[in-house]
Amino acid sequence: MTAERVTVLNLYPGHMNVYGDRGNMLTLRRRLEWRGYEVDAVDHHPGDVLPDSPDIVVGGGGQDAAQALVQPDLLEHGARLREWAESGTPMLMVCGLFQLFGHHTYTVAGSALPGLGILDVTTDAGGGRLVGNTVTVSEEFGPLIGFENHAGRTRLGPGVNPLGKVPRGQGNNGTDGLEGAHYKNVIGTYLHGPVLPKNPRLADHLIQVAVDRRFGPTELAPLDDSAVDDARASALARRR
């Protein structure tokens, strides 16, 4: 029997890869392969053609200049990305691309960058950066461990839920105690790390949604996460 194939699309890994966000793609790939799936890992760079119907879409963070470089290509593909999001494709967008999946963001230099509006969030430039190790407490995924570094202050509109709350860390804007956004199967977050190797439950959520949609209800084989469990316990015990 040929292995079932899963396509994972990584948006702009050449530009949007601060703190190794590309590791999110690697984590999805390995956790799928360990369960016997074949993975088409597709890197999308500005000017490339998008694959037909990816099973999971991920994207990372980047400096303001990198966001400005990828934004025209992103908007050009907006209709398809919106269609995928509306139809339930699991997506994970970190920091710079989280911001660009919202209505707009501003660079520190003051230029407005219109985004896709897939997530009902807006981001304004703030004075001072929100930086540090952080834990987002999510009802659905438990404690999500990561590292944030952003100047943008993101506010959620009524069309999204937060990903979680930040008892430790600054989160979306340093004031409302919320972190990230969740709409349908699209998750936006400020968590770098990269986030998925540190938070396998979140990685498996994206995988579960993807394989259920592609192949029908599926029981995912458990993996040995003992090493990451140890690392998580130590990170959770550390003060910010």
For the annotated catalytic residues, the residue numbers are 95, 192
For 96, list phi and psi in degrees, rounded to 5: -55, -40
Closest contact distance (angstroms) between CB of 75 and ligand GLN is 17
Using the rule CB under 6 A, which residue among 152, 180, 194, 200 binds ligand GLN? Answer: 152
Shortest approach of ligand GLN to residue 71 CB, angstroms? Answer: 12
53 binds ligand GLN (CB under 6 A): no
180 contacts ligand GLN (rule: CB under 6 A)? no
Residue 159: CB minimum distance to ligand GLN, A? 21
Rounded Cα–Cα distance for residues 156 and 180 (Å): 9
> How buried is residue 183: exposed, middle or buried, by Cβ count under 10 Å (0-12/13-18/19+)?
buried
Amino acid, res. 151: A
Query: Which region holds residue 63: left if phi is over 0, alpha if psi is between -120 and 50, else beta?
Result: beta
CA–CA distance, 98 with 186 (Å, rounded to integer): 10
CA angle (240, 123, 138) in 5-degree steps = 45
The partner residues of 124 in beta bridges, in order of sequence, read 153
149 binds ligand GLN (CB under 6 A): yes
Q: Smallest gap, in angstroms, from Cβ of residue 20 to ligand GLN?
A: 12
Q: In terms of DSSP bridges, do strands 121-138 and 164-168 run parallel, antiparallel, or are they unpaired?
A: antiparallel
133 binds ligand GLN (CB under 6 A): no
* Residue numbers 66-95 binding ligand GLN by CB under 6 A: 67, 95
The encoded tokens of residue 88 equal: 């339930």
- Contact range with ligand GLN by CB under 6 A, out of 134-142, 145-153, 164-172, 225-233: 145-153
Which of 150, 165, 168, 182 is in the footprint of ligand GLN by CB under 6 A? 150
- Interface residue with ligand GLN among 13, 54, 90, 96 (CB under 6 A) is 96
Binding site for ligand GLN (CB under 6 A): 18, 61-64, 67, 95-96, 149-152
